[in-house]
Amino acid sequence: MSKLPRWLMPLAHKNAFIFNPSPRDFTVEEIPLYDFSGEGEHLALKIRKKELTTWEMLGVLSDHLGIRQRDIGYAGLKDKHAMTIQYISIMATHAPKLEDFTHPQIKILDRIRHNNKIRIGHLKGNRFHLRFKKVLGVQKEMLDSVLAWIKMHGVPNYFGHQRFGMYGDNWQEGQKILSGELKMRDRKNRAFLISAYQSYLFNNWLSKRIELCRLLEEFSEREAEEVLKLPEGTLAGSKKQKNFFKILEGDLLMHYPYGRIFYAEELPKEAERFAERDLSVTGLIPGKKVKLAEGAAREIEQAFDEEIRENGSRRYAWIFPTEIKGKYIPEKAHYELGFFLPKGCYATNVVDLLRGYRE
């Protein structure tokens, strides 16, 4: 269990609301990166699906249209156990074949011409709506309090549980592939399992950084260094930063919610920009062709850096949900929550923080 801010921990047993991801209680709407042009040889389709993965939905449509699945453009993968709205693209010449398309779990809501095929990552983010059940009055007050904290501080950007498979052990197979213990010819599955291991290393690094932040809430910088066995001075200047998540010297930062990567050099100034959500700290997804942190930040990062033949990258360690709206319905004991997250971020990070823990 990855610990979060100390004052949130008592909520682990008190905030035992029910949230079962389902089309009735969990909706996700993809927000395109830009408006579609209204002209061009491609056709952008606004698709609503339920109880299907994006791959399953694409398979149904490719079979109906008589085209290869890879000829359909999409920006991202959406949850299976939810009502989701996302955009895909096909060549406009296939439009007549859509006239007789019907499916109990897929509905085409809109269509518009566009100049280009939709590509992976071509989205701003996703808008989520969740319904929690069996929320009593005291729990409602706790949810309101934690949401207020989230609005001020943000949430950790862990890779979600679904990244690691039904039993949470995908990463172990990825580790075995890298060590040579497991051979796998299927390139797609091999890459997926290795990425699960990279995600596992990132999550462990993030948990260590959050442990550091929790220690700084209770102890001096030197005491925290001793607990974590860090060289003296590693945490210099970090405790006085007003953000819960602390920037360290040598951290790789990135403009938020997108932009260029650069090293942390002027901590007081960059901590202020972090508080203003102008930038955020990035964590390492280990692999080839990736920048590494330096100095104090590297002291912690290096324990989670392994030689991996796949390309690595940097990922935001801390993110800021926006458009947060909570509504309590006392007669049903329901709490409805809506928020927006940038692409690549999981709603489970918000839910876990509201529960007061992370499994």
Residues 229 and 166 in one domain: yes
The answer to whether residue 169 is domain-embedded is yes
Residues 196 and 263 in one domain: yes
Question: Which residues are identified as catalytic?
Answer: 79
Instruction: Report the alpha-carbon distance of residue 278 to residue 293 in Å, rounded.
Output: 20
Residue recorded with tokens 């069996």: 134
Phi, psi of 141 (to 5 degrees): -65, -40
The answer to whether residue 347 is domain-embedded is no
CA atoms within 13 A on the CB side of 308: 27
- pLDDT at residue 10, as a whole number: 43
Contact criterion met (CB below 8 Å) for 113 and 81? no
Best CA proximity match to 319, nearest among 230, 256, 225:
256
Taking the whole predicted model, whether its pTM rises above 0.85 is answered as yes
Residues near 180 by beta carbon (within 8 Å), at least 6 away in sequence: none
> Would the CA dihedral through 282, 286, 288, 292 be positive or negative?
positive
Q: Tell me, what CATH number does 93's domain have?
A: 3.30.2350.20
Token output for 323: 């458009």
Residues 56 and 196 in one domain: no
Best CA proximity match to 223, nearest among 293, 77, 214:
214
The answer to whether residue 332 is domain-embedded is no
The answer to whether residue 42 is domain-embedded is yes
The answer to whether residue 14 is domain-embedded is no
- pLDDT at residue 4, as a whole number: 40
Instruction: Report the alpha-carbon distance of residue 47 to residue 313 in Å, rounded.
Output: 30
Residues 255 and 303 in one domain: yes
Residues 70 and 171 in one domain: no
Residues 183 and 298 in one domain: yes
Contact criterion met (CB below 8 Å) for 276 and 265? no
- pLDDT at residue 166, as a whole number: 78
Contact criterion met (CB below 8 Å) for 324 and 147? yes
- pLDDT at residue 15, as a whole number: 58
Residue recorded with tokens 């489970």: 348
Residues near 300 by beta carbon (within 8 Å), at least 6 away in sequence: 205, 208, 209, 212, 228, 230, 248
The answer to whether residue 140 is domain-embedded is no
Q: Alpha helices of 114-266 — where are they, by DSSP H?
A: 137-153, 170-179, 187-218, 221-228
- pLDDT at residue 171, as a whole number: 95
- pLDDT at residue 11, as a whole number: 42
Residues 217 and 110 in one domain: no
Query: Which structural domain, as residue segments, surrounds residue 43?
Result: 26-126
Residues 311 and 167 in one domain: yes
Q: Which residue ranges in the chain fall short of pLDDT 50?
A: 1-7, 9-13, 358-359
Residues 190 and 314 in one domain: yes
What is the count of structural domains for the chain? 2
Residues 162 and 304 in one domain: yes
Phi, psi of 289 (to 5 degrees): 55, 45
Q: What angle do CA 178, 180, 186 make, to 5 degrees?
A: 75
Q: Encode pLDDT of 109-148 as tens digits.
A: 999 999 999 999 889 999 999 999 999 888 899 899 999 9
Partners of 189 in the beta sheet? none
The answer to whether residue 329 is domain-embedded is no
- pLDDT at residue 162, as a whole number: 79
- pLDDT at residue 7, as a whole number: 43
Domain boundary among 109, 126, 143: 126
Residues 99 and 162 in one domain: no
- pLDDT at residue 163, as a whole number: 86
Residue 121 has a CB neighbour count (10 Å cut-off) of 10
- pLDDT at residue 156, as a whole number: 96
Residues 310 and 169 in one domain: yes
The answer to whether residue 96 is domain-embedded is yes
Residues near 262 by beta carbon (within 8 Å), at least 6 away in sequence: 252, 253, 254
Q: Tell me, what CATH number does 216's domain have?
A: 3.30.2340.10
